[in-house]
Each structure stands twice: as C-alpha cells, then as structure tokens.
Amino acid sequence: NPEEKPVVEGNYLTDKQDYATLREGIRLGRKLAKQAAFKDHLGEEYFPGAHVQTDAELDAYISDSTHTANAVVGTCRMGSLDDPATVVDPQLKVKGISGLRVCDSSVIPKLPGAQSGACTLMIAEKAAELLLK
C-alpha cells in the first residue's frame, strides 16, 4: 500500500560485532587521550566516564547512547555539473530540474568531522544569498 509509512529497520546493534567494534573505538580513544601530547589539554572523561570499564558496562553505555540522528548528510550531494555522483550544482540547483534548489545538510558531499549544524547554517546563508541575486 503506497499510503502506508515504510518500515525502516537499520538493524543497529543486532550483531555482537557491532558492540565489539564500538568498545574497541572507545578504548582506542581513551588510549590516545592518555598520550603525553594531550596532557595539558584534557580534563576528566565525561562520556562514558572513567568508571565504565568492563565489556558489559561499555555495552550498556553503547545501548543507551547510540542513535542515528547526527550528521545525516550527503543524500543529495552537491558538486560540479559534470560529476555524475552529484544531484545539486554549486548554486544548490537540482541538476535537470528547473526552479528547484536544495538548501539543507543533504547537499554536504562528505560527512563533516563534527556536528553538521554549523555547515547547514552556512548552506542556508549561501542559499539566501543566491536567491537574492
């Protein structure tokens, strides 16, 4: 039925390897943070917290904190007109469709190294500038 909402099942954290990979990432981050180069720049660990150490404790933290709401980008990539992997040109116009622009985080071609909010504001400012021309 095309009127029904689709069921999206990402199957996040359904395989024990999902947890093992994320635990390894947390432990690697902790190991890197203990390097002498960071000594003067870091304070105490807030998340998950230094008291969270065992696999079971880390798994509980991972289960409670993992989500998919951050940095959803790139579904409508921006790029040059001759790039077949892009949907939007540098003026935020949808290629091949007259009068339609996209001005949200979906045009970001690669996942930024931080939250996408600032990037999205920049895109909105650029879109406003383009529309006023």
Instruction: List, for residues 119-129, the tens digit of each pLDDT value.
Output: 899 999 999 99
The greatest distance separating any two alpha carbons of the chain, rounded to the nearest whole angstrom, comes to 60
Tens-place pLDDT, residues 7-59: 888 889 999 999 999 999 999 999 999 999 988 888 889 899 999 999 999 99
Instruction: Return the pLDDT at 69.
Output: 64
**Distance (Å, whole) CA 64 – CA 99:** 43
| 72-97 mean pLDDT | 91
Helices in the chain by DSSP H: which ranges?
Answer: 16-33, 55-65, 117-132
Question: Which residue in the block uniquely carries the two structure tokens 């000594």?
Answer: 39
- At 93, give phi and psi (nearest 5°): -90, 135
Tens-place pLDDT, residues 49-76: 999 999 999 999 999 988 776 667 888 9
Q: What is the pTM of this model?
A: 0.53
Handedness of CA 51, 29, 54, 48 (dihedral sign): positive
